[in-house]
């Protein structure tokens, strides 16, 4: 059973055809990075315009690559939220029109559920299926959530960020220091050259739910660190590098980044990783998880992957491959598969919801 998945919740227009919830026949992602990069973050109006431009060719490309026609499909799935409402509307409305025209059922998918299914899909494909109950840490530019996931696809929220998402913290720190957008990949690359214990950050004590996260204190600490130094010329030089060079090499970045700043990046990344893994470990222990799944854009982070291997987690840890960690539509089609089996279809008047929750 083949599902066409469509994703447009943020700054990626994506479409994919996935068979039986595990075999990716095609996965096309049109990134808007070059549009938003110069603004240091996603500009919602530009994002919707770019989605409008890309949606038809991206879906056509996904069908062509899969060698599929509309009548080979069992359903059409689209992200209904959470995300930018103007962006969500483009993918969801196009999915509705395809569903209306073809008579195929429409399946609405929660974007966060999609990130979790990226892991389930790959693990099943690799012949090492995720065992349940599983702990899911979804960590991206918009989300930092811990869920208990049961075998029958039920979710229980264990903890979430009270302020910034982890990816947002990476992006804000990178922007502040002149590294451009998105910040996560560049901090990840340069952190390898710094000392992760050089700068000490204090961790927020959580009142109430001890499994909640907070990243805004970390961001403020970085701001104070910058303000205590005279970094204007250094930051201006990196901003100029970003403006003139689409993809600076490590050598170019290193020439523009003194050791102190590399140490700060490494220490910041280390602090985020500690925050994430401490709470993931506590959650996994508390719920007696049989697997831990870590997904979302920040799951690409090489430091996080290495630290998760070493962390004393009580069960196996699964990461999606990098292409399935960041936003894509294969994860949306995969998340739709159990819904197709349950015949959980959406009405054509379903609304896009910027704040849609999973649990
Ligand atoms: O999942 P995603 O593509 O979109 C959202 O749903 O938000 O995640 C994008 C986020 C951005 O904040 C980006 O900086 C972060 O993931 N990211 C990373 C890395 N690659 C992407 N953060 C840390 N290390 C990385 N290697
Ligand atoms: Zn995402």
Domain membership of residue 70 (yes or no) is yes
Measure the CA–CA gap between 315 and 302, rounded to whole angstroms.
20
Instruction: For residue 244, count CB atoms less than 10 angstroms from its CB and return exposed for 0-12, middle for 13-18, buried for 19 or more.
Output: exposed
| Residue pLDDT, tens place only, 159-200 | 999 999 999 999 999 999 999 989 999 999 999 999 999 999
Query: 306 pLDDT exceeds 80?
Result: yes
pLDDT-based confidence at 63, cuts 50/70/90?
very high
Ligand 1 centroid – CA 175 distance (Å):
14
- Write out the DSSP string of 253-287: HHHTS-HHHHHHHHHHHHHHHHHHHHHHHHHHHHH
Higher-pLDDT residue of 228, 205: 228
Q: Structure tokens of 64?
A: 């062509």
Mean pLDDT within 219-239: 96
The values of phi and psi at residue 158, to 5°, are -100, -35
Is residue 248 within 6 Å of ligand 1 at its C-beta? Answer: no
pLDDT number for residue 312? 84
pLDDT number for residue 202? 86
| Residue pLDDT, tens place only, 1-20 | 999 999 999 999 999 999 99
Query: 67 pLDDT exceeds 90?
Result: yes
Strand order, beta sheet including 317-318: 155-160, 144-149, 134-139, 291-295, 317-318
- Number of domains within the chain: 2
Measure the CA–CA gap between 9 and 80, rounded to whole angstroms.
8
Ligand 2 centroid – CA 219 distance (Å):
21
Domain membership of residue 234 (yes or no) is yes
Query: 38 pLDDT exceeds 80?
Result: no
Ligand 1 centroid – CA 300 distance (Å):
7
High-pLDDT (> 70) share of the chain, %: 100
How many C-beta atoms surround the C-beta of residue 297 within 10 A?
27
Query: 146 pLDDT exceeds 90?
Result: yes
Is residue 82 within 6 Å of ligand 1 at its C-beta? Answer: no
pLDDT number for residue 152? 85
Measure the CA–CA gap between 69 and 56, rounded to whole angstroms.
15
Round the average pLDDT of the chain to a whole number and report it: 95
Is residue 10 within 6 Å of ligand 1 at its C-beta? Answer: yes
Domain membership of residue 195 (yes or no) is yes
| Closest residue by CA, ligand 1 atom 21 | 297
pLDDT number for residue 58? 98
Is residue 164 within 6 Å of ligand 1 at its C-beta? Answer: no
How big is the CA angle at 145 (ends 200 and 150), to the nearest 5 degrees?
135
Locate the ligand 1 atom nearest the alpha carbon of residue 167 and give its number: 12
| Residue pLDDT, tens place only, 76-125 | 999 999 999 999 999 999 999 999 999 999 999 999 999 999 999 999 99
**Shared-domain flag, residues 83 and 151:** no
pLDDT number for residue 205? 77
pLDDT-based confidence at 317, cuts 50/70/90?
very high
pLDDT-based confidence at 158, cuts 50/70/90?
very high
Domain membership of residue 356 (yes or no) is no
Ligand 2 centroid – CA 184 distance (Å):
13
Query: Domain range for residue 18?
Result: 2-117+324-341
Query: 34 pLDDT exceeds 90?
Result: no
Domain membership of residue 351 (yes or no) is no
Which 3 state secondary structure label does DSSP give 105?
Answer: coil
**Shared-domain flag, residues 157 and 258:** yes
Is residue 297 within 6 Å of ligand 1 at its C-beta? Answer: yes
Query: 244 pLDDT exceeds 80?
Result: yes
Measure the CA–CA gap between 200 and 347, rounded to whole angstroms.
52
**Shared-domain flag, residues 328 and 311:** no
Ligand 1 centroid – CA 226 distance (Å):
23
| Residue pLDDT, tens place only, 39-62 | 878 889 899 999 999 999 999 999
**Shared-domain flag, residues 140 and 278:** yes
**Shared-domain flag, residues 155 and 292:** yes
Strand order, beta sheet including 106-110: 23-31, 12-19, 2-7, 73-81, 106-110
Measure the CA–CA gap between 82 and 90, rounded to whole angstroms.
14
**Shared-domain flag, residues 13 and 81:** yes
pLDDT-based confidence at 33, cuts 50/70/90?
confident
């Amino acid at each position: 059973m083949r599902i066409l998945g469509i994703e447009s919740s943020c700054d990626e227009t994506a479409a994919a055809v996935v068979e039986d919830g595990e075999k990716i026949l095609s996965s096309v992602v049109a990134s808007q990075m070059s549009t938003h990069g110069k603004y240091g973050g996603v500009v919602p109006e530009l994002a919707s315009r770019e989605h409008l431009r890309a949606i038809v060719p991206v879906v056509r490309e996904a069908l062509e690559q899969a060698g599929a026609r509309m009548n080979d499909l069992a359903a059409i799935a689209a992200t209904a939220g959470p995300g930018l409402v103007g962006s969500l509307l483009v993918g969801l409305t196009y999915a509705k029109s395809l569903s209306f025209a073809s008579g195929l059922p429409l399946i609405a998918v929660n974007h966060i559920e999609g990130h979790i299914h990226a892991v389930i899909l790959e693990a099943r494909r690799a012949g090492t299926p995720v065992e349940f109950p599983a702990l899911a840490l979804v960590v991206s530019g918009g989300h930092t959530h811990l869920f208990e996931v049961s075998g029958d696809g039920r979710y229980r929220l264990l903890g979430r960020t009270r302020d910034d998402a982890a990816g947002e913290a990476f992006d804000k720190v990178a922007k502040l220091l002149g590294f451009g957008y998105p910040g996560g990949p560049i901090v990840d690359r340069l952190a390898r050259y710094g000392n992760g214990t050089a700068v000490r950050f204090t961790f927020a004590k959580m009142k109430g739910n001890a499994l909640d996260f907070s990243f805004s204190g970390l961001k403020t600490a970085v701001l104070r660190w910058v303000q205590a130094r005279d970094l204007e010329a250094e930051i201006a030089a990196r901003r100029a590098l970003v403006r003139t060079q689409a993809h600076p090499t490590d050598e170019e970045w290193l020439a523009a980044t003194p050791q102190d700043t590399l140490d700060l990046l490494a220490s910041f990344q280390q602090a985020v990783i500690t925050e994430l893994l401490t709470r993931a470990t506590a959650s996994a222990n508390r719920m007696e998880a049989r697997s831990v799944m870590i997904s979302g854009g920040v799951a690409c982070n090489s430091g996080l992957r290495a630290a998760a291997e070493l962390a004393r987690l009580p069960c196996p840890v699964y990461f999606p491959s990098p292409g399935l960690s960041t936003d894509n539509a294969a994860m949306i089609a995969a998340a739709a598969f159990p819904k197709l089996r349950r015949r959980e279809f959406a009405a054509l008047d379903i609304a896009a919801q910027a704040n849609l929750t999973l649990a």
